[in-house]
Structures are given as C-alpha cells and as structure tokens.
Amino acid sequence: MADLHDQAIRQHCRQLRLPTIAAQFARLGEEAIRESQSHAAYLEALLAAEREERDSRTITRLLNEARLPRIKTLEAFEFEHSVVPAAQIRTLAEGEYVTKAEPIVLIGDVGTGKTHLASGLCVAACRQKRRARFTTATALINELVEAAHANQLSRVLARWERIDLICIDEFGYVPLVETASELLFQVIAERAERAAVIVTTNLNFSEWGQVIPNPRLCKALIDRLTDRAHIIDTGKTSYRFERSMARRKEAQTTSKRKEK
C-alpha cells in the first residue's frame, strides 16, 4: 500500500513539476516521524526544499547567462592587498545600486582587481536573481557593429536594455572609431536612470579623449556615466604582480632550505 502511495505522490509531483519534493518526500517523512513533527512542519520542510532547489537552479542559469569569463566572487577578493575599501564593495554587493540604476566605474591600472570586482558584483547580482551580463568593450562594440550591418541594431539594443546589470570591461585599451563610440554611447545613454551599468577602465576621465575621437560625444558619455555614479579608484599597484613576486620569493626560500 505504501508503494502505491509513493508512486501516486511521484506521479502528482511529475505533473505539478515538483521534482525535489518527489525526490525527498520519503526521507523528510521519516525525519518528521522520528522527530515527531506536525503535518504543517513536514509540509513546510517539503516546500522549503523545493524552493531552495529552484532558487539554486535559477542562480546557476543566471550565472551561465551572465557569460562571465571566470566565476570570481567578492569573497575571494584579497582586499588586504588593495586600496579599494572592502566596506564600500560589500555595501554595493547588497544590490541597491541596481535597484536605483546607479552606475559603477572602476578606474585603475592593470592588475589592480577591476575585472575581479566587476565579476564579483555580477555574481552577487545573479545570487539576488537579477539578470546580469558581462562583456568587454571590444566584444560589445563588435556585436553592435555586426547587428547594424545586418539591420538588427534595434533588436540587439532592446535585448541589452532588458538586462538588469551589464558590465563593460576593459574600456580604454583600444581606441574607437566614431561609429563604435556612437554605438557604445547608445547602450550607456539608454540605461541612464533606468538600469545599472559597471564600466572598468585603465584611463582617468581626462584621458578618455584618447579613445573617443569626438570631444562632444566623449563629454556626453562621461556625463551619462558619472551621473549618480559610484566611482572607485583601484590604484596603480598590481596586486597580481606583487602576489606573483611573493610566491616566487617563497619558492626560492623553500628551495634554499632544501639545499641546506
């Protein structure tokens, strides 16, 4: 009789698309009997298990859709080797800047953690079930140029607008022709006060004219991007280089000890 009940429950769960309850109802039922739980407590445990599994699948899907080059979390960032205030980043990770559509600009030299911080903020947003998308400035512009040539620019721009948070990495490494600058401006201008954007760059704002040839367009882009923005200086010292040198020094010390 119990087997018939189990089969019926699994069939109902299959029809209602409750796979976690189907997989765990027997085990959780045994726990409920052993711990003398009420029917309501048993039901709550079942529903909580289903919800947790759905949340986990949702976050995994959002992380995949974010197209992060590597999953880098803020928990793994070495704030002790950075000038970036840990408290500020942790506050931002709570996500209010996404709700308020406030930009973040990370400015600093190579190796100072800009990409790691941007990736970590994207991961935090995905954990809050927000849609995020990570791209380099070059990749984004190439996508927009191809869309324009295929008469699909409006459709592609609309797709970017639907994303809660976009991160544009490595702005400033490659000079842009005017058409590319205009396309980048369209993406950022459309998000102004409507959706959040993170930009990482190795250039101070006074140097952006080296990348964007049109002075008026450059000024307009900076104006849109810095309005209500969180501007974070990640410094000039490469903590990756310092870390590599420290590891090299440690390896040399270990080698000398072995020789002795």
At position 197, the amino acid (one-letter code) is V
Tokens read off for 128: 């809050």
How do residues 118-161 score in pLDDT, each as one tens digit? 999 999 999 999 999 999 999 999 999 999 999 999 999 999 99
Partnered with residue 135 across adjacent β-strands are 168
- Alpha-carbon distance of 28 to 30, in angstroms, equals 5
How do residues 11-25 score in pLDDT, each as one tens digit? 988 999 999 988 988
Task: Output the pTM of the full model.
Answer: 0.85
- The topology under which CATH files domain 74-242 is Rossmann fold (3.40.50)
Tokens read off for 221: 């882009």
How is 112-144 classified by DSSP, letter by letter?
Answer: SSHHHHHHHHHHHHHHTT--EEEEEHHHHHHHH
- Alpha-carbon distance of 255 to 149, in angstroms, equals 58
Q: Indicate the domain borders of the chain.
A: 2-66, 74-242
8 Å CB contact between 2 and 29 = no
8 Å CB contact between 79 and 235 = no
How do residues 70-106 score in pLDDT, each as one tens digit? 999 999 999 998 999 999 999 999 999 999 999 999 9
